[in-house]
């Protein structure tokens, strides 16, 4: 079968439709791969448990991953530039608690509280960006540090107290349970954010520059791309989106304490990696990351519906990460071989 594909793909494919469009084709194929995996899981599980294959169940799956998907969009932007943001979990937690607390103490109304939460997320992301660009601290180290700092701040502010559902105004709580045109609001938020980000990354100059920084930082500098400013911007965006997720967190879970969203960063990075985003930057799409999140949520839901022990979930997630990355490497090597055939004429 490999030979057939190889024969079908013209040896000067890169020359014919352009390198960029070839890479876009690869990205689409990768996303197709996740969709196929999803379809396969759905079919297999639906045969065993028909209630899996209902609209309300799919809605449950999407709802359960909506917040992770929002954060994953921001993380994708950062990873594309060959960086990583490990502090997203702590940002979500800190913003969730501050927003909840503001509402609990009746300091401000719901709209202002939401705005405040988003601004806080933006600020925390900017701090990350500053440490990385101005402080020249490698992203993994910087965000490991801020992961601890932001989480510690959440505990300091909380002082052992928590925000309960009864402390929060109904209008705020209803956000997570309401719908827009029949689709739950949280899902709509995630889809809109992902769509805007995907469009900007794919079709705007800034988006292409982000990809360039990740593929070849030195070359990007030489060409005149303002790498430092763009990387800073990526972290600001990541913080902002984590802030958005934090604001919605309280509405979804009702009770918020200082350890909210602990460990979220690993789930988000898993989704991003499974979605085909290269951890070394330069390739991958927001759509892929969102699909990665959906895949993980589907697996969890499948385990629940099949009455399988949730203890298998982490092991399966780990295996999926390894499978996804292995497949990516295989695909990359394969296309590299095809594309470099042009040079052999």
Partner 1 sequence: MRLPKGAFAFAGLAVLALSACGGGGSSSASPGTTTLNIAFLPKAVNNPYFDVAATGGQEAATELKGQFKQVGPSDATGAAQIPFIQTLTQQNVSAIVVSADDANAIAPALKQAMAKGIKVVGYDSSPATDARNVFINQADTKGIGEVQIEMVCDEIPGCAGDIAILSATSTATNQNAWIDVMKSTLASNSKYSGLKLVKVAYGNDDPQVSTTEAQGLLTAYPNLKGIISPTTVGIAAAAKVLKDQNKVGKVALTGLGTPNQMRAFVKDGTCKEFALWNVKDLGYLAYYTAALLVQGKIKGTSGETFTAGRLGSYTIDASTTVLLGKPFVFKADNIDQLNF
Partner 2 sequence: MSALRDRLLARWETLLVLLLGAFLVLGTSLSPYFLSASNFSDMTSNLMEKAIMALPLALIIIAGEIDLSVESMAGLSSALLGFVFLLGWPLWIAIPLVLAVGALGGLFNGLLVTRAGLPSLVVTLGTLALYRGLASVVLGPQSVSGWPAWFTNFGFGDVPGTLIPWPFVVFAVLAAAFMFVLHRTWIGRQIFAIGKNKEAARYSGIQVAKVKTLLFVLSGTLSALAGVILTARFSSARADNGQGFVLDVVTATLLGGVNIFGGEGTIAGVVLAVFVIGVLRNGLTLADVSPDTQSVVVGALLIVSVAGPTAVRRIRSAWSSRRFVQSASNR
195 vs 303 by CB, closer to partner 2: 303
Q: How many of the other CB atoms lie within 10 Å of CB of 320?
A: 18
208 vs 332 by CB, closer to partner 2: 332
Shortest gap between Cβ of 315 and partner 1 (angstroms)? 17
**Phi-psi category of 228—alpha, beta or left, where left has phi over 0 and alpha has psi -120 to 50?**
alpha
In angstroms, what CA-CA distances link 333 with 78, 251, 285, 294, 338?
24, 45, 19, 27, 9
147 vs 198 by CB, closer to partner 1: 147
88 vs 234 by CB, closer to partner 1: 88
**Binding of residue 131 to partner 2 (CB under 8 A):** yes
64 vs 83 by CB, closer to partner 1: 64
> Which segment (41-49, 98-106, 142-150, 165-173) binds partner 2 by CB under 8 A?
142-150
The one among 133, 146, 209, 251 contacting partner 2 by CB under 8 A: 146
**Nearest Cα to Cα of residue 257 among 172, 155, 114:** 155
**Binding of residue 266 to partner 2 (CB under 8 A):** yes
Shortest gap between Cβ of 30 and partner 2 (angstroms)? 15
**Binding of residue 119 to partner 2 (CB under 8 A):** no
CB 100 within 8 A of CB 120: no
202 vs 332 by CB, closer to partner 2: 332
- Helices 88-104 + 110-133 axis angle, to 10: 150
Shortest gap between Cβ of 238 and partner 2 (angstroms)? 17
The one among 37, 154, 241, 260 contacting partner 2 by CB under 8 A: 154
Beta bridge partners of 184: 179
**Binding of residue 137 to partner 2 (CB under 8 A):** yes
Helices (H), the chain: 2-8, 13-17, 19-48, 55-80, 88-104, 110-133, 139-158, 170-177, 185-203, 205-215, 217-223, 227-253, 264-274, 286-305, 311-339
HSE, side-chain direction, 13 A CA sphere, residue 345: 8
Binding track over 286-325 against partner 2, x by CB under 8 A? -----------------------x-xxxxxxxxx-xx--x
Region 270-289 residues binding partner 2, contact defined as CB under 8 A: 270, 273, 279-280
Shortest gap between Cβ of 41 and partner 1 (angstroms)? 15
**Binding of residue 156 to partner 2 (CB under 8 A):** yes
Which two tokens mark 13? 């494919």
Host H or E run for residue 180 = strand 179-180
Place of tokens 């979930």: 313
Binding residues (CB under 8 A) for partner 2: these are 84, 131, 135-138, 140-142, 144-149, 151-156, 258, 266, 269-270, 273, 279-280, 309, 311-319, 321-322, 325-326, 329
């Amino acid at each position: 079968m490999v030979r057939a594909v190889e024969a079908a793909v013209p040896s000067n494919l890169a020359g014919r439709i352009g390198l960029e469009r070839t890479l876009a084709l690869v990205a689409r194929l990768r996303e197709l791969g996740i969709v196929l995996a999803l379809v396969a899981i759905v079919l297999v599980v639906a045969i065993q448990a028909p209630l899996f294959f209902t609209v309300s169940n799919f809605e449950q799956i999407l709802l359960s991953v909506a917040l992770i998907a929002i954060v994953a969009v921001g993380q994708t932007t950062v990873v594309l530039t060959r960086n990583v943001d490990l502090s997203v979990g702590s940002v979500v937690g800190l913003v969730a608690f501050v927003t909840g607390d503001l509402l609990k103490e009746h300091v401000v109304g719901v709209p202002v509280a939401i705005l405040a939460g988003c601004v806080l997320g933006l600020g925390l992301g900017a701090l990350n960006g500053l440490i990385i660009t101005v402080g020249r601290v490698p992203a993994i180290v910087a965000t490991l540090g801020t992961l601890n700092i932001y989480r510690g701040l959440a505990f300091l502010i909380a002082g052992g107290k928590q925000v309960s559902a009864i402390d929060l105004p109904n209008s705020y709580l209803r956000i997570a349970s309401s719908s827009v045109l029949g689709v739950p609001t949280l899902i709509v938020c995630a889809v809109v954010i992902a769509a805007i980000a995907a469009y900007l990354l794919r079709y705007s100059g800034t988006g292409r520059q982000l990809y360039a920084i990740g593929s070849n930082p030195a070359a990007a500098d030489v060409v005149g791309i303002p790498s430092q400013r763009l990387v800073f911007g990526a972290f600001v965006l990541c913080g902002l989106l984590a802030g958005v997720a934090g604001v919605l967190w309280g509405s979804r879970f009702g009770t918020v304490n200082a350890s909210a969203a602990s460990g979220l960063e690993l789930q988000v990075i898993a989704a991003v990696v499974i979605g085909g985003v290269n951890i070394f930057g330069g390739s991958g799409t927001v759509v892929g990351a969102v699909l990665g999140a959906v895949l993980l949520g589907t697996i969890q839901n499948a385990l629940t519906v099949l009455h399988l022990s949730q203890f298998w979930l982490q092991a399966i997630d780990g295996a999926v990460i390894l499978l996804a990355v292995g497949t990516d490497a295989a695909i990359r090597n394969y296309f590299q071989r095809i594309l470099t055939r042009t040079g052999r004429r």
